[in-house]
């Protein structure tokens, strides 16, 4: 019998739930323009820039979360094309570790870029920037994820990253 099933039978639900590890899960989209520049957004609530995306909600898949966040943050429908990178991160701003997914958001045409509408209470601006310009603006681990995602686009398969073990 599985040890988790034994624990679940022996412990009250609230005690079992309290002992179950919790991980935050987030999803982002790597969106490019015709010049292969990366779309980054500037949150109003923090200093650094991010990819469009956010926290995965209860009973929501990472891909659906990325699609929902694109709608909320960019004001347009962006369907994730495929997984590019999954990252495990232990050094976060909040207690505990997290798992982050970066999906291929595709290449935006000039017409799609013109449709971007930011929620002014959450995001103050967006830019399409070259990788070397994006790196200093992004949190360190997201910069690692963006590099891995671009590599995944080139090699044709997803890349798994553990924050401290990625070269």
Please indicate, yes or no, if residue 14 is contained in any of the structural domains.
no
CATH number at residue 60: 3.90.79.10
Q: How far apart are the first and last CA of the chain?
A: 40
Please indicate, yes or no, if residue 16 is contained in any of the structural domains.
no
pTM of the model: 0.84
Question: Domain containing 117: what range?
Answer: 21-165
β-bridge pairing 123-129 and 53-55:
unpaired
Write the pLDDT tens digit of every residue in 18-56.
555 578 899 999 999 999 999 999 999 999 999 999 999
pLDDT bracket for residue 167 (50, 70, 90): very low
CB-neighbour burial class of residue 24 (10 A; exposed 0-12, middle 13-18, buried 19+): middle
60: three-class secondary structure by DSSP: coil
Please indicate, yes or no, if residue 31 is contained in any of the structural domains.
yes
DSSP code, position 57: P
CB-neighbour burial class of residue 58 (10 A; exposed 0-12, middle 13-18, buried 19+): exposed
* Total domain count, the chain: 1
Burial of 89-123, coded b for 16+ CB within 10 Å and e otherwise, reads beeeeeeeebebbbbbbbebeeebbeebebeeeeb
Write the pLDDT tens digit of every residue in 65-86.
999 999 999 999 998 889 999 9
Please indicate, yes or no, if residue 5 is contained in any of the structural domains.
no
Please indicate, yes or no, if residue 149 is contained in any of the structural domains.
yes
């Amino acid at each position: 019998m599985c040890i988790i099933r034994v624990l679940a039978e022996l412990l009250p639900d609230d005690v079992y739930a309290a002992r179950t590890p919790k991980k935050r899960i987030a999803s982002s989209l790597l969106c490019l323009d015709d010049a292969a520049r990366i779309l980054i957004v500037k949150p109003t609530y923090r200093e650094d820039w991010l990819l469009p995306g956010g926290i995965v909600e209860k009973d929501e898949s990472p891909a659906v979360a990325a699609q929902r966040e694109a709608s909320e943050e960019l004001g347009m429908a962006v369907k994730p094309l495929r997984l590019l990178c999954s990252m495990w991160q232990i050094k976060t701003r909040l207690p505990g570790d997290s798992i982050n997914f970066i999906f291929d958001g595709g290449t935006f045409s000039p017409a799609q870029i013109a449709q971007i509408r930011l929620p002014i209470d959450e995001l103050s601006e967006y830019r399409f920037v070259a990788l070397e310009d994006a790196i200093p603006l992004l949190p360190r681990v997201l910069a690692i994820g963006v590099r891995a995602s671009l590599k995944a686009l080139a090699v044709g398969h997803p890349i798994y990253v553990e924050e401290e073990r990625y070269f």
